[in-house]
Amino acid sequence: MLSQVLELWPDDGPVLVARDGLVLREWRASDVPVMVELFDTAEIDRWTPLPSPFDEAAATAYVERAHRARAEGTLQLAITEDGERPLGEVLVFPGGTERTVEIAYAVGADHRGRGLAVRSVLAVLDLAAAAGATMARATIAVDNAPSERVALAADFRRGDVPLVDRSRKGYRLTVATWVRSLTPPH
């Protein structure tokens, strides 16, 4: 399980990843107002499981859950350029099978088109590979073209898993599984 793999990740201090002009860090209570700005939108509501409205109470509960989830091998990291103001989020969590991680990401509307999601995904994949993960997976709605572009840019490919129809928060979604090996080719 990833929780075993992630023993290499520090558990006695904050996770901080600096790469490609980004600083990924754990969420802070002081981020709550910015989180509301980033995630209380119709688009985030449609494509993510985040509650709507995503108000200060929802953001506060989210930060608290993120800190508890770390003990189970899940990292929910704010995407920043300077270690301060969040621009989005990247998550890496156990993928259901040994040495598999699942990733997810969301970038605030005002910050899209700058490669933040791709760079963040690549950074957490390197972290997961260094910790022993060998496969990564992402579940993306087939109508979510921006997320599909991020997956392609991060070297994911559509998996051979059949499409799945889901209903979430009143939306009907058809989702595809995207996969990427984290081991170098032979």
Count of domains observed in the chain: 1
Question: Would you give the distance in Å from CA 143 to the centre of its chain?
Answer: 18
User: Is 46 within the bounds of a domain?
Assistant: yes
User: CA-CA distance, 27 to 58, in Å (whole number)?
Assistant: 14
Question: Would you give the distance in Å from CA 11 to the centre of its chain?
Answer: 19
4: left (phi over 0), alpha (psi -120 to 50) or beta: alpha
- pLDDT of 5 reads 40
Structure tokens at 33: 């107002």
Q: Supply the range of the domain harboring residue 136.
A: 2-181
Q: What is the DSSP letter of 14?
A: -
Identity of the amino acid at 155: D
User: Is 120 within the bounds of a domain?
Assistant: yes
- pLDDT of 8 reads 41
CB burial of 128-140 (b: ≥16 within 10 Å; e: otherwise) equals: bbebbbebbbbbb
Structure tokens at 134: 């060998």
User: Is 126 within the bounds of a domain?
Assistant: yes
Structure tokens at 47: 């494509």
Predicted TM-score (pTM) of the model is 0.89
Residue with structure tokens 């109470």?
57
Instruction: Going from the first residue of the chain to its last (186 residues), give the mean pLDDT of each consecutive group of 10, the final group possibly shorter.
Output: 43 77 95 97 90 95 94 92 96 87 95 96 93 94 95 96 89 94 77
User: Is 77 within the bounds of a domain?
Assistant: yes
Identity of the amino acid at 7: E
User: Is 186 within the bounds of a domain?
Assistant: no
User: Is 157 within the bounds of a domain?
Assistant: yes
User: Is 103 within the bounds of a domain?
Assistant: yes
- pLDDT of 11 reads 58
CATH number for the domain including 136?
3.40.630.30
Q: What is the DSSP letter of 162?
A: P
User: Is 99 within the bounds of a domain?
Assistant: yes
